[in-house]
Amino acid sequence: MTGAGERHRAYRRGHFAEYLAALALMLKGFRIVERRYRTRLGEIDLIARRGDLVLIVEVKARRTLEQAMDAVTWTAMKRIESAADLWLARQPDYANLSLRYDLVAIVPWRWPVHVPALFTV
């Protein structure tokens, strides 16, 4: 199967990976405030919050943790950062919030791996 079928499978796989990542974060006490937050500058897979800490989360489903970490390129970081700036500007309590850029790696046969502070700005 090629073309549209593969894209559809990848899309479904991505949704499932984000669902698992959200579940793992909720079990850690975070509240998911946005899923697939899209702006003209970029997209954020998940935005989670616990108190004043806001996680900007990139979700990657790969064979290994290393591959998932390597999949977040410098260009992707810049797009995520730009989208996060727009989201943050729309929050009434933005001055009190601490932002952190995390990764949740979905690796076969493992619980989702949460990597805090994958990158900083």
Question: pLDDT, tens digit, for every residue of 34-74?
Answer: 999 999 998 999 999 999 999 999 999 999 999 999 999 99
Mean pLDDT of 81-106: 94
Residue whose pair of structure tokens reads 């090629």 in the numeric block: 2
Q: What is the pTM of this model?
A: 0.90
Rounded CA-CA distance 60/75 in Å is 15
Quote the pLDDT of residue 7. Answer: 82
Provide the token pair at 8: 């559809």
Between 13 and 38, name the one with better pLDDT: 38
- In total, how many domains does the chain have? 1
Pairing of strands 43-50, 31-38: antiparallel
Residue range of the domain that includes 96: 4-119
Share of the chain above pLDDT 90, in %: 81
Provide the token pair at 10: 């990848």
pLDDT exceeds 70 at position 102: yes
CATH number at residue 34: 3.40.1350.10
pLDDT exceeds 90 at position 98: yes
